[in-house]
Amino acid sequence: MSNNVLPHSLGNLPRTCIDLFAGAGGLSTGLELAGFNVLFANEIVPVYATSLAQNHPQTNVYVDDIRSLAPNNIRNVRESLGLEVGQLDLVAGGPPCQGFSINAPSRSTSDDRNHLFLNYLDFVNEFRPKVVLIENVPGMVSFSNGGTIRAILDSLECLGYKASVRILYAPHYGVPQMRWRTIFLATRLPFDPDSLYPAPTHNIKGRPNFTAKFAGRSLIYSHEHIISCASNAATTVWDAISDLPVIPNGGGDPTMAYGSEPNTLYQKFLRLDSNALTNHQCAGLGSANTKRLPYIPPGGSWRDIPHELLPEGMKRARRSDHTKRYGRLDPNGIASTILTKCDPHWGAYIHPNQDRVLSVREAARLQSFPDRVTFAGSLSEQYEQVGNAVPPLFARAIGYQIQDTLRLYERGEQIIATDVQSQVALPLSD
């Protein structure tokens, strides 16, 4: 396997950023891997913030509702970081996305969570960063008939930023998991914001199950474009987790020895600076479920379970229903989207060859978290933190592209924008 996960050459000094709605720090971790110094991060959930702080000791972590930082207090934050207006390189973050999600039970413009991006924009207005990054779920494209997308783009324009929006697929950047994210990138500098999007590096075809067009434009890369620029094979489940020790159903330990050397470049990269394996613990399944698991082969699902052992509700299901329930991961494929619970009733979260669900560390590996990143709280809280995170290698790819584009701009060199359909050379200024 050849994966583009080796350290990237950087300039002289690390660029600076802040991370809002940071969760346990997936975005912060990825941006740090790309050479950013995360000066400040905000997270409202205390246990998430604990993980964030313990993994990013140099970051000023503010634990509270972002709405408590009124414009005057945001100015205090900027001044406490020793930054002048316009000095910060990047404001990044992901306003809560539940209200935008195509999977949410009810999507309404009255949901307060759908307006938190305005609080995010207060930081943009105060810091005046060179680049703005907003990430969210693909479902926001269809929310309010595209009104949310338009509101964000228009708001950034009113602040003096040229902005673009695309939907990127994490496996295109070496993440072994089906995960799509809507990414807004904007700049107040005189170059096309499309130049801030990274070209795919891993060749794998994604199948979107959401609206992928906005204002008549496709927001996802064409398969032809992926083939033209992605030279690496997809990272597989087994590439990610094959070196981790065997543990029983409901077993594992908070800290344990690896027991073997890394088998792949991906594993070697994620094990950098980690001397012990942490969070390799899994939730326990009851006897009814443990009787079902031996019947499910790698890549199989509930259809492989004898009818008499199925849950009562699923005995009436059609074979075309619930395609991922009680799914056992195919070691040679990529994982389903890691959610906040590795529950077999939710999807394909059964280990490829052990009769148990994924451990927290295995879920974190499939999310591309380095092993040095640890998760605080109860087992269920650890699963939540991993499932809610931005995959760090995905964030790293975006961070590198931002770094490279800013470096080209500062050197006065030509900037190339990776178009959804093709690569187009653009002038440095309008």
Over 80: is that where the pLDDT of 180 sits?
Answer: yes
C-alpha to C-alpha distance for 92 and 269, rounded to whole angstroms:
24
Nearest to 210, CA basis, from 183, 171, 182: 182
Are 212 and 257 members of one domain? no
Are 227 and 285 members of one domain? no
Secondary structure of residue 122 in the 3-state scheme:
helix
pLDDT of 424: 32
Over 90: is that where the pLDDT of 399 sits?
Answer: yes
Active site residue 229: no
pLDDT tens digits, one per residue of 282-322? 999 999 999 999 999 999 999 999 999 998 888 888 877 76
Residue 45: inside a domain: yes
Residue 22: inside a domain: yes
Are 333 and 215 members of one domain? no
Could you give the count of Cα atoms lying within 13 Å of 265 in the half-sphere of its Cβ? Answer: 13
CATH code, domain with 406: 3.40.50.150
Are 345 and 275 members of one domain? yes
Are 25 and 71 members of one domain? yes
Are 169 and 205 members of one domain? yes
Residue 148: inside a domain: yes
Are 360 and 396 members of one domain? no
pLDDT of 323: 76
CA 107, 111, 113 angle in degrees (round to 5)? 105
Are 182 and 252 members of one domain? no
Which region among 5-19, 74-88, 215-229, 393-407 has the lowest average model confidence (pLDDT)?
Answer: 5-19
The mean pLDDT value for 85-101 works out to 79
C-alpha to C-alpha distance for 327 and 358, rounded to whole angstroms:
12
pLDDT of 317: 83
**Residue 216: what residue type?**
G
Over 60: is that where the pLDDT of 395 sits?
Answer: yes
Residue 156: inside a domain: yes
Secondary structure percentages of the chain, helix, strand, coil, to 5: 35, 15, 50
C-alpha to C-alpha distance for 293 and 218, rounded to whole angstroms:
41
Maximum C-alpha span of the chain? 69
Overall number of domains in the chain: 2
pLDDT tens digits, one per residue of 335-378? 999 999 999 999 999 999 999 999 999 999 999 999 999 999 99
pLDDT of 113: 60
- The alpha-carbon radius of gyration of the chain (Å, integer) is 22
Over 90: is that where the pLDDT of 423 sits?
Answer: no
Residue 151: inside a domain: yes
pLDDT of 419: 56
Residue 10: inside a domain: no
Residue 4: inside a domain: no
Residue tagged active-site, from 97, 158, 229, 342: 97
List, as one string, the DSSP characters of 183-200: EEEEESSSS-GGGGSPPP
**Residue 93: what residue type?**
G
- The answer for residues whose C-beta is within 8 angstroms of residue 90's C-beta and 6 or more apart is 15, 16, 17, 18, 31, 36, 129, 130, 131, 132, 133, 402
Residue 289 burial (C-beta neighbours within 10 Å; 0-12, 13-18, 19+): buried
Nearest to 310, CA basis, from 359, 337, 353, 344: 344
Residue 2: inside a domain: no
Are 46 and 175 members of one domain? yes
Are 59 and 109 members of one domain? yes
pLDDT of 319: 79
The mean pLDDT value for 383-412 works out to 96
Are 401 and 375 members of one domain? no
Is there a contact between 111 and 70 (Cβ–Cβ < 8 Å)?
A: no
pLDDT of 34: 96
- Tell me 139's DSSP state: G
Are 254 and 219 members of one domain? no
CATH code, domain with 340: 3.90.120.10
Secondary structure of residue 49 in the 3-state scheme:
helix
The mean pLDDT value for 393-402 works out to 97
The range of the structural domain enclosing residue 323 comes to: 237-387
134 or 313, greater pLDDT: 134
